[in-house]
Amino acid sequence: CGCCSGMSWPCCCKAPETKKKAACPGLGLFYTILSAFLFSLASLFLKKIQDVHSVEVSAIRCVFQMAFVLPGVIYYKTGFLGPKGKRIFLFFRGFLGSAAMVLLYYAYQVMPLADATVITFTSPVFTSLLAWIFLKEKYSLWDLLFTLFALTGVILIARPPFLFGSRVAGIEGNYTDHLKGTIAAITSTLSSASTLVILRKVGKSVHYVLSIWYYAVIGLIGCVIALFVLNEWRLPHCGRDRVFLISIGLLGLGGQIFLTKALQIEKAGPVSIMKTMDVVFAFILQVLFLNHLPTWWTVGGALCVVASSSGTAIRKWRHSVRKAKQREI
């Protein structure tokens, strides 16, 4: 071809059916690990903040997202409202997504970091269940088994007194706050799963930048209204908390960017499995910086949830690979 210095056909860079090698194998998985670390670090800073309500933290993060997404909305010319037939879906995507963020931040504040993080990993299981109910997607016995595994993990973390007795060890504060945090984390996971189902329904007819824009705008409006109703708006008393608030916004945005880049260059299955590093980082940061050793119940619950979410991801990945091969045939 003139660029291979006269090399024979098998070595020629333009030989038929010759595939180009990836510039950096494993780069997508590295982005996933980096994203998990940034999200876990943001969660740690949230635990360190004092006297700031979770709704206010969510509002500040929405401001950061709006500031960085606005140029994308203008550049891609998506408009601020989107297609008429899709606006109702975008509204609920924004409402449920922002509600999931507020509830998750509340859970981080009132229960151990690792416990709340593990519960969020039941999202793939609930997504499969909701997709079966609303989108008529296939739901097999394997999916049912993974759902039961996830629920078992949540029960081991929540440790209800009627199963584990009245003396529950390894929690932060009193059991009432622990139970409230567990309910908030589960509700957050269901809301997050619902947003994924809505995004599947919308498909590629709406640009992803517009979806994030709705998430930020509706989240900010809802948080501001909630802060006035609760009368919880206040500036942090010390400079350290203000640094933490800004860092949460930047780390959350960075985590989303790296996760998006990972999904662009790597298949969703490996990314979903590698994202379980969130749990590992949460355990490490909790021990190192919060001086809170997880109980064996939490470890057992984490293993159940990670096995459930990983199994769901692997099944979806294999199914997509099988369908791709059928299309080629």
| Three-class DSSP labels, 55-96 | HHHHHHHHHHHHHHHHHHHHHHCCCCCCCHHHHHHHHHHHHH
Q: Are 103 and 166 in contact (CB under 8 A)?
A: no
pLDDT of res. 19: 46
Output the pLDDT for position 183: 92
Contact 239, 5 (CB under 8 A): no
**pLDDT per residue as tens digits for the range 279-310:** 889 888 888 888 888 888 888 888 888 888 88
* Residue position matching structure tokens 């619902």: 194
Q: What letter does residue 9 receive in the DSSP assignment?
A: G
pLDDT digits (tens, 9 = 90+) for 157-179: 877 765 666 566 666 667 788 88
Q: Compute φ and ψ for 315, nearest 5 degrees.
A: -65, -45
Are residues 210 and 46 in contact, defined by beta-carbon separation less than 8 angstroms? Answer: no
Q: Are 69 and 94 in contact (CB under 8 A)?
A: no
Q: What is the pLDDT of residue 184?
A: 92
Q: What token pair was written down for 245?
A: 């608030």
Residues 115-143: b if buried by 16+ CB within 10 A, e if exposed: bbbbbbbbbbbbbbbbbbeeeeeeeeeeb
Distance CA 189, CA 124 (A): 9
Asked whether 59 and 151 are in contact (CB, 8 A), the reply is no
Per-residue pLDDT, 238: 67
Side-chain-facing half-sphere of 307: CA atoms under 13 Å: 16
Question: What pLDDT does residue 1 have?
Answer: 47
Q: How many whole angstroms separate alpha carbon 143 and alpha carbon 10? A: 45
Tell me the domain boundaries of the chain. 27-164+175-319
Instruction: Output the pLDDT for position 263.
Output: 67
pLDDT per position in the chain (329 positions), as tens?
445 544 444 455 444 444 444 456 678 788 888 988 998 998 899 888 877 888 888 888 888 888 888 888 888 888 888 788 788 888 988 899 888 888 988 898 888 888 888 888 888 888 888 888 887 878 888 888 888 888 888 888 877 765 666 566 666 667 788 888 899 999 999 998 888 788 777 776 777 788 888 888 998 998 888 888 877 777 666 678 888 888 888 888 788 778 877 766 777 667 777 787 888 898 888 888 888 888 888 888 888 888 888 888 777 777 777 777 777 66
**Alpha carbon distance 121, 107 (integer Å):** 14
pTM of the model: 0.77
**CA atoms of 70 and 63, how far apart (whole Å):** 11
**Which positions ≥6 away from 85 have C-beta within 8 Å?**
none
